[in-house]
Amino acid sequence: MLSYTRKKNLLVFLLFILLLITANSPTYAANPPPNKWDAVRNFANDAGAEPDIDWDAATGVPTFIRGRFPEDLAVQDPSNQVDQAYTFFQRYGDLFHMETPQTELSLINTVQSNGDHLRFQQMYEGVPVWGAQLLVHSKNGQMTAVNGHYQPGIVLDPIPQRNASQAEAIARHHLGTTQAATLSTDVELVVMTYRVEPAALTWLVQLSTDSPPGRWLYFVDAHTGAIVYHFNNLPHAKNREIYDANGACSSFSLPGASVATEGTGGSLSAGSAQDAFIYTGNAYDYFMSQFGRDSYNGAGATIMTSVTFGTVGVCNNAAFNAFWNGTQMVFGAGGSGYNHFAKAEDVVIHEFTHAVTEYSAGLIYQFEQGALNESMSDIFGVFAQQRSTGNFNDWDLGEDLNTVFRNMADPTLYNQPAHMDDYNELGWVDDSGGVHINSGIPNKSAYLMVNGGTFSGVPVTGIGLAKTEQIFYRALNHYLSPLSGFNDIRISTIQSCTDLMGTFGIVNADCNQVQNAWAAVGLGSAVAGSMFSKAYLPILIQSEPYREAVYEPNDDISQAYGPLTSGTSYFAYIETDGDGDIYHFTTSGGYITISLSSLPSGTNYDLELFNSAGQLVGTSYNSGSTDETIQGITAAGKYYIYISPTATASSTEDSYRLEVTYP
């Protein structure tokens, strides 16, 4: 429900659960694991430039690859793009620990919209790996990006010892509901890796219940019959066709009595049915007019909505609720000071967006993925209402219910975090892992993209609603997958912005602000301001083998010392606490190492690498006098090394040592 809130501090008896959850939280690494350097180098050599890769620190495989791809992979005929993708994975499968792409990846669908997008399901011995999908993107026949979640190293017996009926019985027994549970879809054999170690062959049993409303996913070990994982995947909040549930408490009574169709809805009198008719129409119009999406599934699906569900004092869970159940939207009757739940336009469109998400990214409804799912619904619910009402300063959600659930401009007003430092690691029993709480973090980022502002010390220049909504929709529809989390939406929106440059008025500077908006909420780093505008003090250089004292008037970037010779050691002083030393070198492209060592006792120097455009491309921020190192594969070009001190870090007696090796 939208009204759900929790405090950050948890009861002591949940501590053990939290520790387990924290240990399984998704983490990402800036650099590849050591056993991947050769694979990255091969890719870079073939492409002629360093790829931009984000790595899953837990699995050691990429979650997002973008940048230049080998030109010999380009295709002229769109019908050959599937073969192109398989060729890529065959050639660079070592990045993923992938051996036989033709059997490990099964094409799900193809989307063509301002570029081509293929979505693949990971398979193991013919069995789908639940939630594991890879997406391949191209434009004009040339690959532009690969992203998603692939699970390497699966080893298990693919032959089940228990059958689907046995698994269903086990799930029903565990659910133990007094209400009858219905089977939502056929029981499916899947490999389960999400929050499960090691991977397990399981039967996926999906059951729907009324009290509490639920779409329960049970993963039953196909060998032992043990339940390896289960959760409620029902998105709570509010949304869509027009039926009257007449206070019924059970979903078995849905949709209820028909009160309006497309042709008759215009004659409805004021009330919940009329509100639902108007706002579901607004939801359809918004996604069609802004994104060309025909209904929630993109294929003109009928939008069914039931109103006045539940009765106050009899079944409050139904009356004070709204949800998308996989088939239709359902809105509670409200009461006791709450308006009926179809009265709030942003709530209705919030629920409609849950349906859009199910038919695009398929984000699951738990932990970080579920919080992102909730955030997508908040973002488009608020954006659509702003367009509908013309009030572009309205960042509240649910105000027309006679309450406010969340505020995107300041999530902390309603007990939500706005920064990753305050992310709530909740157990799965508590709000499905905090889906209605942690959604405040991407919500705040979306607000900053539109309006701008300085948050947590990071300045963001707003790019406006029109650009932001296109970027988020493209990310949702083309880049996100079931297991995507906050880092994925960060990269996906940056990539989507790059894809859209030249359309909707989007320029490169806008994409920098998208990156800054995520940095402001603690995800990734901000785009470095132009280092060319900074003034730096002169530095004393001593270069081997001659070790002559050379003073450099390092007042601007044009006076940076260099070019540095590969493999040569350079010695210099940070003369004052405000001094900063700049060097430059030019490489033909390839693997480089920058080493800053022999730091004077009691000092703390930071090491940064900028490209010729003034963009920060590498950092090392170790504490104290610990050596600093930057290494990786770079594209050909000129680079600048900037050494800067923290407070009380100067020395005129002890020099530091700088060495760079490059091709």
Please check whether residue 6 is in contact with residue 240, taking contact to mean a CB–CB distance below 8 angstroms: no
What is the CA angle 309-312-318, rounded to 5?
40
* 436 catalytically annotated: yes
Distance of CA 404 to the CA centre of its chain: 26
- Measured CA to CA, the distance from residue 440 to residue 417 in angstroms comes to 6
Q: Which two tokens stand for residue 539?
A: 């530095």
In 10 A of CB 568, how many CB atoms?
Answer: 13
Q: Residue 592 class from Cβ within 10 Å (0-12 exposed, 13-18 middle, 19+ buried)?
A: buried
Given the residues 50, 241, 345, 351, the one annotated as active site: 351
CB 66 within 8 A of CB 515: no
Token reading at 640: 């600048």
User: Which residues are CB-neighbours of 173 under 8 A, at least 6 positions away?
Assistant: none
Residue 475 vs residues 117, 438, 500, 618: alpha-carbon distances, Å? 12, 19, 11, 26
Per-residue CA distances from 511 to 87, 440, 516, 517, 622 (Å) = 31, 22, 9, 10, 29
d(CA 480, CA 548): 56
The reply to whether 351 belongs to the active site is yes
Question: Exposed (0-12), middle (13-18) or buried (19+): which is 567, by Cβ within 10 Å?
Answer: exposed
Would strands 52-56 and 62-66 be described as parallel, antiparallel, or unpaired?
antiparallel
The partner residues of 143 in beta bridges, in order of sequence, read 138
CA 615 – CA 64 distance, rounded (Å): 20
| Residue 285 identity (one-letter amino acid) | D
Asked if residues 527 and 613 have their Cβ atoms less than 8 Å apart, the reply is no
CB 192 within 8 A of CB 122: no
- Residue given tokens 């030019």 in the structure block: 586
Catalytic residue (one of 354, 419, 436, 478): 436
Residues 336 and 214: their CA atoms lie apart, in Å, by 24
Separation between Cα atoms, residue 523 and residue 371, nearest integer Å: 15
Residue 77: how many CA atoms within 13 Å on its side-chain side?
A: 4
Phi (first) and psi of residue 497, to 5 degrees: -60, -45
Residue type, 501: M
SS3 assignment for 527-545: CCCCHHHCCCCCEEEEECC
- Convert 412-437 to b/e letters by CB count within 10 Å (16 or more is b): eebbbbbbeebbbbbbbebbbbbbbb
Question: Is the four-CA dihedral 65, 69, 70, 73 of positive or negative sign?
Answer: positive
DSSP, collapsed to helix, strand or coil, labels residue 616 as strand
Query: Which are the catalytic amino acids?
Result: 351, 436
